Amino acid sequence: MRIAMIGTGYVGLVSGACFADFGHKVTCVDKDSAKIESLNAGRMPIWEPGLEALVKSNEERGRLKFTTNLQEGIANAEAVFIAVGTPARRGDGHADLTFVFEAVRELAKVIRPGTVVVTKSTVPVGTGDEIERILREEGVTDVSVASNPEFLREGAAIADFKHPDRIVVGANDQRAEAVLKEIYRPLFLNRAPILFTARRTAELTKYAANAFLAVKISFINEIADLCEAVDADVQDVARGIGLDNRIGAKFLHAGPGYGGSCFPKDTLALLQTADKFGVDQRIVRTTVEVNDDRKASMVERVSNALGGDLKGKRVAVLGLAFKPNTDDMRDAPSIPLVNALVERGAEVSAFDPVAREQAEKIFTGIQFASDAYEAAADADVLVIVTEWDEFRALELDRIADSLRGKVLVDLRNVYDRKDAEAAGLAYYGVGRGSFGRA
């Protein structure tokens, strides 16, 4: 199949490269010329494991191209995917569809009859209808519009794309269904479940999935608070419930609250849809509140571990990206924490294995270290914010030697209290006994 991918960000680039790897001919289009130049020079604009090799091998086979020219990009394409950003609109949290509609209007000028337009961006229910309306308004006829939400996770994006739990396709006509079936055939043969639904159903499915995962995280975070009050261990509670197949073990890790480019904005957008249709979603609304409060309260944990005053204290922060294996800083829990530490007069020295460049655009007045031990040097406390693998195997004795104050605040429960204490560190985890609460 010949495929065009409009938007070459985390989702568009990974999806485009994976489709090419399936054997399709893919052209990725982006209006950001710096991004396209960098890709054409062999440099990845994002950090994602395995991506560079995948892009390179498919370019060499002549199956993957990059351009800023939309007309050239979609020439002869049987399917055009839209994978542009849909951030939260400032003020109300509605999904900002400016990029999607802009892309559709540009597309309308050059698209050929018979093409299938597929929305891969996460878009509110009814966006497919609106895309159809815009195309009609621009005089385009005989084009199908389908929804194919993406469920990949940054940091494991290629594996997720190639071995998905399921593929959801929302199509209201047979042509769109047939084209998408052909595009995903290699996965279909691997027995990845492919679910065909009405277009609106597919659009809502993506929001329902992310909202449910967000609920799980907020749920276990509240249970963690209860564990601290009653002297129970949330790690064991999570395991005890997660082994139940009806519950499942994933997304039951207590921590500093969820962040990233999807859950915060998608939960807000779901609430906007609910408002628009007059159907309250109390569980999701509460989840958002719980998470906002949680992220804002992490500074108290650090402060409490230091006796309640942060002024003049030096805080080493390990991990800034919203999760490991990505450089994505969007809505990362590190942002409110680091900003609050600085506001309360602490000095921050931070280290992240790959997100420094992104972080430098966000934080002012903090120092960046080149490894965990340098960050820890002369600090009063070490705070683990993102659970990169390399933070799971720190030499705790060496950390304790570097630190001025012997305190470890482990917001990801990476370490066992006894190991930390054996190294001479006072240990504060999340939901692991009666300590660390605000």
Q: How far is the CB of 104 from ligand NAD (least distance, A)?
A: 9
Query: Which of the following is catalytic: 18, 28, 227, 262?
Result: 262
Residue 357 contacts ligand NAD per CB under 6 A: no
Residue 358 contacts ligand NAD per CB under 6 A: no
- CA atoms of 117 and 96, how far apart (whole Å): 19
Q: Which stretch binds ligand NAD (CB under 6 A): 30-38, 48-56, 170-178, 364-372?
A: 30-38
The interface with ligand NAD within residues 144-203 (CB under 6 A) comprises 150, 152, 154
Q: How far is the CB of 34 from ligand NAD (least distance, A)?
A: 9
Q: With respect to ligand NAD, which residue has the nearer C-beta, 12 or 405?
A: 12
Which DSSP string corresponds to 304-335?
HHTTS--TT-EEEEE--SSSTT----TT-THH
With b for 16 or more beta-carbon neighbours within 10 A and e for fewer, the 144-167 pattern comes to: bbbbbbbbbebbbbbebbbebeeb
Residues 412 and 386 sit within 8 Å (Cβ to Cβ)? yes
**18 given a catalytic annotation:** no
**Tokens 């960000």 belong to residue:** 9
Q: With respect to ligand NAD, which residue has the nearer C-beta, 235 or 326?
A: 326
Q: With respect to ligand NAD, which residue has the nearer C-beta, 132 or 327?
A: 327
- Judged by DSSP in three states, 347 sits in strand
The interface with ligand NAD within residues 390-409 (CB under 6 A) comprises none
- Judged by DSSP in three states, 263 sits in helix
Residues 433 and 320 sit within 8 Å (Cβ to Cβ)? no
Q: How far is the CB of 83 from ligand NAD (least distance, A)?
A: 5
Pick from 3, 4, 8, 405 the residue near ligand NAD by CB under 6 A: 8
Task: Locate 225 and state its tokens.
Answer: 């608070």
- CA atoms of 271 and 104, how far apart (whole Å): 25
Q: Which stretch binds ligand NAD (CB under 6 A): 25-33, 281-289, 373-381, 427-435?
A: 25-33
Residue 80 contacts ligand NAD per CB under 6 A: no
- Judged by DSSP in three states, 381 sits in strand
Q: With respect to ligand NAD, which residue has the nearer C-beta, 86 or 303?
A: 86
Beta strands at 167-171 and 381-384: parallel, antiparallel or unpaired: unpaired
Residue 302 contacts ligand NAD per CB under 6 A: no
- Judged by DSSP in three states, 433 sits in coil
Task: Report the interface residues with ligand NAD, using CB under 6 A.
Answer: 6-12, 29-32, 35, 83-86, 99, 102-103, 106, 121-122, 150, 152, 154, 261-262
Active-site residues, by number, are 262
